[in-house]
Amino acid sequence: MGKSKLQVSPITFGCWELGGGPWEFTSDENNIQAIRAAFEMGITTFDTAEGYGAGHSEEIVGLALEGSRQQCVISTKVSRANLAPADVRRSAEASLKRLKSDFIDIYYIHWPSYEIPVSETLSEFQKLKDEGLIRAIGVSNFSLEQLKEAAGFAQIDVIQPEYSLLHRAIEEDIVPYCLENEIGIMSYSSIAKGLLTGAFHLGGKTLDENDFRSTRRLFLPEHLKMEEELILLLKQIADAKGKAVSQIAISWLLHQKALTTAIVGSQSIKHMKENVEAAEIKLTADELTALDAVSRKVIAGIDATP
């Protein structure tokens, strides 16, 4: 991953849902078993944050991986409110305690600060790295300009942006920069918060009005209609291969040369098994060309609406 010596799995287990919060929640026991099952299937990389359920996600990750810590790569994030140097250290120490670990493999700035200079934040990150408390430094939700600025103060090993067949803005500027500078890319919202599973277009799934996704741009009725063409193409490819729609969407991401690992979250062991299997799916040049064209058409249509 990037210039670091870390080896990550193609699929990263996204642990946002495990903290509770805005997602439909199963149980801690289920989620501990899901993490352990994912590890047994070959997923070695797990992504969480202090902001996921006010630290609860980190606690579940720590409990689940306690016996396998040395074989795993765990990334977590410091929240925007805690980017002053003293707060960074307090957050890191609290995360280490919840994760039941002596070190954090990848420590991210979750969102850029409006107030604290990134030089001050990364100065503390570098101290933590020098002390062995973190092994690699990452940034999440940074623009190209913010990434370049950060890279002037520390070795940035990875960026975590939103990236999927329905979110491709990073291809314009961040991807070329990361390729040129050996910075890894760990995508989040890899299946567009569930849209690229086909559940909303093919399975009849609807959102409760209290679901945080109900007001998100891609879930608006007029945009759901525009997305149908892409979902139907994914289904056509999936059916021909005997796979699930979500597996083709994940496979497309893994075929993008700049991507290092795709974060996919689930509280279902069945779905995590499908996610792991997606890494083995090969898409033909024609399939990749078709997905690229339809994806760009759909995104352009959505962007053109008010």
Distances (CA, A) of 306 to 81, 217, 296: 32, 10, 18
Cβ–Cβ < 8 Å for 58, 95: yes
Strand partners, 263: 12
Name all contacts of 217-226 with Cβ < 8 Å and 24+ positions apart: 217/302, 218/166, 218/192, 218/193, 218/302, 219/193, 219/195, 222/305, 223/302, 223/305, 224/200, 226/298, 226/301, 226/302
Q: Is 108 a catalytic residue?
A: no
Residue 238 and residue 248 in contact, taking contact as beta carbons nearer than 8 Å: yes
- One of 52, 107, 108, 163 is an active-site residue; which one? 52
Tokens of 290: 């078709």
Query: How many residues are given for the chain?
Result: 306
Distance of CA 179 to the CA centre of its chain: 19
Q: Which residues are catalytic?
A: 52
